[in-house]
Amino acid sequence: MSSNKGRYIPEGGSASRPPLFTGKNYYFWKNKMQLFLKSQEVGMWRIVTEGDYVPTVTSAEGVISDKPEDAWTAAEQQKVLLNSKAHLFLSCALSMEESERVDECDTTKKVWDTLQVHHEGTSHVKETRIDIGTNKFETFEMIENETIDEMFSRFTTIINELRSLGKTFSTNDRIRKLLRCLPVTWRPMLMKLFFKEINL
């Protein structure tokens, strides 16, 4: 068995298992989980964003209704199966406490939306968090006796949280911001670190 198994998703121990969410570091987990679901099967992420796939039939009068299960085609059966697979993956990714939070949700979309509202807040709260994060970006400074790695880690955390909320800054804006908050003697080292270690 390969010794590389689980290297990229250590929370689940395998690339075939979802990353575990314990209630901490929601933005980090959210991005990992989104990538995981997209990597499983085509159409799985759509179930999270748009809701369960439900086969329908249109009558002669133009009325659309749910199609009886015994009339589903093989293709429709596979699409419906994705509903359960997506829900299972998301359920397996949650700790007991987080699972209890979404116990009453009967679809993957409802689970995802409930977690998002709880950990990100409503649209108004989200806008407030973006404002707070943007202010952190604009006022970011290097702390006395802080190493480049420590400073860069703090800066990356701010950028990643804002990205999860839908707010992004261009690479040039980020480079300029980092350069402005450093003593002149540190700037060549930062430029080397930035282009070598990260791809934002």
pLDDT in tens, 174-192: 888 887 887 766 666 666 6
Evaluate whether residue 171 is within a structural domain.
Answer: yes
Identify whether residues 140 and 113 lie together within a single domain: no
pLDDT in tens, 86-141: 999 999 999 999 999 999 999 999 999 999 888 877 667 778 888 898 999 999 98
Under DSSP, the state recorded for 25 is -
Identify whether residues 95 and 148 lie together within a single domain: no
Identify whether residues 146 and 67 lie together within a single domain: no
Identify whether residues 108 and 167 lie together within a single domain: no
What are residue 56's DSSP bridge partners? 66
* Full domain range(s) for residue 142: 123-197
The residue written with tokens 């329908």 in the block is: 56
Whether the Cβ atoms of residue 53 and residue 80 lie closer than 8 Å to each other = yes
Evaluate whether residue 1 is within a structural domain.
Answer: no
pLDDT in tens, 32-67: 899 999 999 999 999 999 999 999 989 888 889 999
pLDDT in tens, 65-93: 999 999 999 999 999 999 999 999 999 99
Please give the full DSSP string across 30-80, using - where no structure is assigned.
Answer: HHHHHHHHHHHSTTHHHHHHH-----EEE-TT--EEEPPGGG--HHHHHHH
More confident residue, 7 or 68: 68
Identify whether residues 137 and 171 lie together within a single domain: yes
Evaluate whether residue 15 is within a structural domain.
Answer: no
Full-model pTM: 0.62
Which residues, in sequence order, are CB contacts of 136 under 8 Å at separation 6+?
158
